[in-house]
Amino acid sequence: MTDLTRLTISQAREKLRAGEISAVELTDAYLAAIDAANDKFNAYVAVTHDKARDMARASDARLAAGQGGALEGIPLGVKDLFATEGVHTQACSHVLDGFRPRYESTVTSNLWADGAVMLGKLNMDEFAMGSSNETSWYGPVKNPWRATGSNADRVPGGSSGGSAAAVAAFLCAGATATDTGGSIRQPAAFTGTVGIKPSYGRCSRWGIIAYASSLDQAGPIARDVRDAAILLKSMASVDEKDTTSVDRPVPDYEAALGQSVKGLKVGIPKEYRVEGMPQEVEALWQQGIAWLKEAGAEIVDISLPHTGYALPTYYIISPAEASSNLARYDGVRYGLRVPGKDIVEMYESTRAAGFGDEVKRRIMIGTYVLSAGYYDAYYLKAQKVRTLIKKDFDDAFAAGVDVILTPATPSAAFGIADKEMASDPVKMYLNDIFTVTVNMAGLPGISVPAGLDGQGLPLGLQLIGRPFDEETLFRTAHVIEQAAGTFQPQKWW
């Protein structure tokens, strides 16, 4: 029999509905692949064998009764940031040791209600703070992609590194992820997968461990554009448990695929041509422009003048929100407790032992910029710049631009334990230079694989849309995918 883990979600869906394969067979194929290869990738931090088989059996019963949901029997991986009832949920932090929530996040509830099967929890940067998956308490994840002729391990990107690696290595059919500054789109670009961060408010944040609440959004990582559309349709909802969840119906994203981009106005922002960007990234961008032009789109040069300020703004706003959100980890209600002679020493020792260096840095920066005397100079200033960043996009869309095309990342995946990245936190932060603007403005952004660099590593393009116009992103990304093809790593594992 052919390897069932190679089926896309849309292919598996057809075979399950036609009764050609069962959900149990498909789930067992993934569990066997995980058991054989997870030691090599470190993508899963918990595998839920029994739960997966129970869910698959229930899916088979529903399929047999003709009551299958939109994702009936599809095995998925879940980023460790999503609360899953009774199952390992730690944001890959030591401070949440042993935490097993008594509730389920809205996004995962939606997926299970549509019949999806949970395979386990996926590795990530601690509290989603990182761009390489190296800040995880559980250790780094390996990218299934390697440079041609090399055995050196590369990072899968982050923070959703486990999600991207598991999808690329065929250890799940698709995965949930989250994106605060690029954590869906950058790992997708590094692994040759498709990742979409929807508009702020499209997916409920309820039950997702909070990092920076005004920026956090959930979205899928998938093997192709169609699978991403199928997953987002299920994940998105209106939720009264999240006051920022937006009250508008979820469209059928899959229906946007195959529609023409003739006459679509595609903006090319000149500020995304940054110093030191490899020529290959520039060439890929030009290729993307050519593909869309051939498909009938109209290409227009635009300017988003505050682009360069998005990353420094992000490194004020996100640590500020994080310092507040992470105040709850104090050794009292859940997770780790390190005893102390009094309550303050207990708090301080617990947090010192429980948080990793990057998380501590961001809490410290956040505490500093919010402290008396500095609030106006840092936080208030950043929120004003954020208004200007959003206005740049508003102006471009008001001038008739339908979608914006940029590179997804300034480079391909770099090596694990890269010395330059480790020496200066700002070097690592620059990975998000093209993605972070989108979070600042609350817009939807999709990363779609578009080619390989000279070393045989995948590179992605990013499309940015109007608020709640994910359909145009799927339509345009599909055109790029049709032209570029899909990319799979050489199996070495």
Partner 1 sequence: MSVDLDTVKRVARLARIAVSEEEATVMAGKLNSILGFVEQLNEVDVSGVEPMTSVIPMEMKKRADKVTDGSKADDIVANAPATEENFFLVPKVVE
Among 28, 58, 100, 295, binds partner 1 (CB under 8 A): 100
CA distance from start to end of the chain: 20
Instruction: Please identify, using beta-carbon distances, which residue of 259 and 349 lies nearer to partner 1.
Output: 349
The catalytically annotated residue of 10, 22, 183, 323 is 183
**288 vs 155, 407, 408, 451, 455, CA distance in Å?**
25, 9, 12, 10, 20
| Cα distance between residue 346 and residue 348, in whole Å | 6
Q: Catalytic site residue 183?
A: yes
Which of 144/335 has CB closer to partner 1?
335
Taking the C-alpha atoms of residue 92 and residue 38, their distance in angstroms, rounded to an integer, is 16
Q: Which of 360, 418, 483, 493 binds partner 1 (CB under 8 A)?
A: 360
Considering beta carbons, is residue 382 or 413 the nearer one to partner 1? 382
Q: How far apart are CA 121 and CA 89, in angstroms?
A: 8
Residue span 146-185 as binding mask against partner 1, x where in contact by CB under 8 A, dash where not: ----------------------------------------
Q: Name which of 149 and 339 has its Cβ closer to partner 1.
A: 339
Query: Which amino acid is it at 4?
Result: L
Q: How far is the CB of 378 from partner 1 (least distance, A)?
A: 7
Q: Which C-beta is closer to partner 1: that of 60 or that of 330?
A: 330
Q: Which of residues 326-345 bind partner 1 (CB under 8 A)?
A: 327, 330-337, 339-345
Is residue 87 close enough to count as binding partner 1 by CB under 8 A? no
Site for partner 1, residues 423 to 482, rule: CB under 8 A:
424-426, 429, 440-442, 467
Nearer to partner 1, 98 or 149 (CB): 98
Which residue's CB is nearer to partner 1, number 324 or number 488? 324
**Is residue 444 a contact partner of residue 250, using CB atoms and an 8 Å limit?**
no
Q: Please, which of residues 395-424 interact with partner 1 by CB under 8 A?
A: 424
Which 251-290 residues touch partner 1, going by CB under 8 A?
none
**Choice among 10, 22, 59, 79 that is catalytic:** 79
User: Contact at 8 Å (CB) between 181 and 163?
Assistant: no
Number of residues that bind partner 1 (CB under 8 A): 76
Please enumerate in sequence order all residues whose Cβ is within 8 A of that of 169, keeping only pairs 6 or more positions apart, or say none. 37, 41, 43, 144, 489, 493
Q: Give the one residue of 11, 390, 415, 482 binding partner 1; rule: CB under 8 A.
A: 390
The answer to whether residue 423 is catalytic is: no
- Long-range contacts made by residues 369-378, C-beta under 8 angstroms, separation at least 24? 369/316, 369/319, 369/320, 370/320, 370/323, 370/324, 378/316, 378/320
| Among 1, 18, 65, 98, contact with partner 1 (rule: CB under 8 A) | 98
**110 in Cβ contact with 70 (< 8 Å):** no
Q: How far apart, in Å, are the Cα atoms of 428 and each of 134, 158, 281, 433?
A: 11, 10, 18, 10
For residue 407, give both structure tokens. 């590179």
* 82 makes contact with partner 1 (CB under 8 A): no
Query: Is the distance from CB of 306 to CB of 441 less than 8 angstroms?
Result: no
Token pair for 287:
């290729």
| Site membership for partner 1, residue 36 (CB under 8 A) | no
Q: Which of 11, 58, 213, 309 binds partner 1 (CB under 8 A)?
A: 309
Burial of 279: CB neighbours in 10 Å, binned 0-12, 13-18, 19+: exposed
Specify whether 159 is catalytic: yes
Among 113, 255, 283, 364, binds partner 1 (CB under 8 A): 364
By annotation, the residues acting in catalysis are 79, 159, 183
